[in-house]
Chains A and B, each alone.
Chain A
Amino acid sequence: MELFFIFVAIVLTQNFVLHYFLGICPFLGVSDEMEAAFGMGIATTFVMTLTAIITWNINNFILEGFGVEFLEYVSFILVIASLVQLVEMFLKKYVPELYQTLGIYLPLITTNCAVMGLALFMVLRDYNFVQSAIFGFGAGVGFTLALIIMAGIRSELMEDAIPEPFRGTGITLLTAGLLALAFMGFSGLVPV
């Protein structure tokens, strides 16, 4: 049950994008097209899940084993950067269309603070291995969910007559804010 709570919490009540406001760059950058948003979500989920699994091992066995926990930032970034490289190679080979669509945002997963935040939260909250894996996967699902909702709203907005000063980034940021407010409605759903 506790694992389920962790999952629901990170997807809905404590969504990385809409609760912690982490990973806003890809959230705003890739959310204008449904297909790209979904692809970005999947790629990020993949990176996040693997990051959670690998960083947990590194933190528990290597960093704590040698007593050098202060290296967590550096080593976590190393993990994330390598994973992103891996995803990039994978996509370029097997899904070149998505690779073209994501463009610059793909290597930017490296600097997606939601991924780094995930690794640091995990350590902070003292999650065990299974909890970490669920947490990482849930964070990715939550990120994908936020991206897809945003992409849906933005594709609707494209048809609307938006007042001149709000066009472009303005309306996007407003939408993101309202979406975050809406997600506050989930608070209290699970005891975390």
Chain B
Amino acid sequence: MTTLALSDEILMEIEKPARYIGNEVNMVRKDPAEVEIRFCMCFPDVYEIGMSHLGIQILYDMINKREDAYCERVYSPWPDLDRIMRERNILLFSLETQTPVREFDFLGITLQYEMCYTNILQVLELSGIPIWAKDRTLEDPIVFGGGPCSYNPEPIADFFDVFYIGEGETRYHDVFELYKSARAQGASREEILYRISQIPGMYVPSLYEVSYHEDGTLASFEPGQEGVPKTVVKEIVMDFDKVPYPEKPLVPYIRVTQDRVTLEIMRGCIRGCRFCQAGMIYRPTRQKDVELLKRYARSMVKATGHEEISLSSLSSSDYECLKEFIYFLIDEISNDDVNISLPSLRIDAFSLDVMKRVQDIKKSSLTFAPEAGTQRLRDVINKGLTEEVILNGAMQAFRGGWNKVKFYFMLGLPMETEEDAEGIPKLCETVAEAYYTIPKEERNGKVSITASASFFVPKPFTPFQWAPMLDPETYRDRARHVKDTFRKQLNFKSMKFTYHETDVSALEGVFARGDRRLSRVIYDAYASGCIFDAWTEFFDYEKWLSAFEKNGLSMSFYTTREREVDELLPWDFIDIGVTKRFLAAEWERAKQGIVTPNCREQCSGCGAARFGGGVCFEGKS
């Protein structure tokens, strides 16, 4: 039996001790003395969130398939344990062998959202690893960052040794081989990092030098040494059916956010919505073979005992074998003990049929994500969904017995006018009125419409990367105006409108497009007590404001400023395949309200075709 890092007394004192003891079903056990590489994978948020993440399960499985490596896990200790660890000088430890994280060769931190940045510092500090990469020695693990936020790693560049740019399945093996030989040769830390920078997809921030203009914009961003690549090309899996997939995923004891079998059916999206970062960075779209997915569905349900199976992709309706696969799941997998959790689907005869079969109509609702209230603005953001499509789908569903509709919108989109904002309640009203055109005996009671709006945050590697973000006051006023406009609608009693908080989004906006100077702000905010910023109960905006003030940086420089297309951006050194020229052309088309067709309708020459596969070559061999 493994000796736990925490005493019985501590485990009984804190909330949910199961977060810290490991030993879950399908946990990988190895003798650490028998491996050459110890890798600790970290999701810098609480266990229940981290355990729900597919990416970590994929890499955990992949690394552990190597005989010479042992991948373990660590998550952010919840504040109750955080306090105890600081008081009693307990080092942060891995779940599997309860070993101090500091003793590992690698610490890999996944970067899924900006608001987890202070938790990274928590993990480092509690591990006894120097927070600043420059202070680390050979005794410390090499700290890797990866995941969506590493597409602009600059705000946290000073805390990391390496960022892995792109999909994790491709290059860790090269890193491990290099590390083994470098250690055997007695290479220094600097030498190891330099050699890692030679592996495609690896960004070693300490090897680059940054200078700024007087106005705060970037003047230069260059390798500081001979041989360090000027640009880092993202890594991408092109044989999508051949990469390993975790057929025996970990099954936690406590209820986690996504407590189910997750099947990734497709990576990337053909749609090209101009606000969406995932839609660009994962190009080109690649689909998994449907027969392979059927096999996974069977084996994973069996290996986990989960009651639910769900599909993961950016736009499931665009998966070409979706019909076949969902009917397979309904007919062959789903029964008393396995439910199908449907992804959000385009509403049509097929999706209504499957919804009817796997959900309770009385409880389930239709979901639409028009994102913007008017057709004009939907054209600006390149969201293909039209009012006609929404109405047709909704009417089909209403006739089939549904009466609940959910709408997702964004506020603060580029080129958004008051009319666009008012379009949100108007669209809801149109749908409500359509409902009541159905004779009373054919409809199912009152209609119920829920609309929610989030605060648009411009992201790197999207056509809106140059766009100004709305300032929080204007956003708040606009959201209130939308709320007031809802009250003026005929059917306002059947509608509910909620909107997201502004302060967190503003900060997210800073980090999304921030530069290296922000490391100090994050450090100071953390030092003053900021942690778990993604959790409303812990988020302390005032502390963040003082951290900005202390460092003489203004949030609005990063958020509300409109960037010129020729400005050097902090993430320009990364090459995602999609070219800056394409993004700039899309930004121009957005301003003119011109829609760009999706990848299957017509290739727009974004640049991702150079990876030599996926949707760019569909139907061509």
| Pair from one complex | no
User: Which A positions have Cβ atoms within 8 angstroms of B?
Assistant: none
User: Which B positions have Cβ atoms within 8 angstroms of A?
Assistant: none
